[in-house]
Amino acid sequence: MSKMKSYLDRLSALSPDQTMLDSNRLVLFLSGSSDYSCAGLTAGQLELLYAICPSGYRVVASNFPFNQDFEHIKFPQVSLLSASASNIIYYWHTILNPRFQKLLQQHLFPLLEVQEVVLVCKSSGVNMLTQWLRSVGKEVSLPRLRVIALGPVSQLLLRQKEVEVLVIKGKKDPYSRILDRHSANIQVDTDHYSYEYREDVKGIIHDWIRQSDKNRCDKRSI
């Protein structure tokens, strides 16, 4: 049995009742998978989420599928080469595998019941999000969705009419520069792997979220 088939079987067996997307206001981290056996976040990724978390929001300490019954406490210890290969396979399954696309819809569906989401998408996590948004369709009402795209690698573009978007690309990140068509709002001096660990990136995101909240309050007061 292939690793991907085993992974999809595990996703299929998860109960929706165990979703971690069960609060009105959430802060999430979404990326491709470097190890299909667990969905844990690194200490640096969790630190980023807590650093940018607005008052009244809850940090979800897991990557996709955001389910209590899928291992998310430990972070996978894999080589860079192995992680890269897993992410490449994951990317193409997101686009070409109908079964994976259905499971992506299933496990992200609870977001439609949420009021507000701050979503940090790293690399092909943007591809997962855009594929899901396409499946949702225009007739469905989305939550207030603020997306921070770090070194995005995506087949489709995020549409500004659907979500609030901040795109950050690294000057030393050839993958996002070559394989992605999003225009960068901000460029930083980093490679593809280090965005979430940089203090300047944390500050940029923090300030963008606060400005977004201020803009919303200003519109309401007009």
Q: Name residue, tokens 């960068």.
A: 184
- Look at residue 46 in the predicted model and tell me its pLDDT: 96
**pTM of the model as a whole:** 0.94
- Look at residue 1 in the predicted model and tell me its pLDDT: 54
- Look at residue 85 in the predicted model and tell me its pLDDT: 81
Model confidence at 24: pLDDT above 60: yes
The neighbouring-strand residues paired with 117 are 26, 145
Instruction: Give the count of alpha carbons within 13 A of 101, CB side only.
Output: 15
Domain that holds residue 182: 3-221
Least confidently predicted of 8-17, 52-61, 77-86, 147-156? 77-86
- Looking up residue 167, the CATH number of its domain turns out to be 3.40.50
What whole-number distance in Å separates Cα of residue 86 and Cα of residue 96? 15
Provide the domain count of the chain: 1
DSSP string, 35-83: -TT--PPPHHHHHHHHHHPPTT-EE----TT-BTTS--SSPP---HHHH
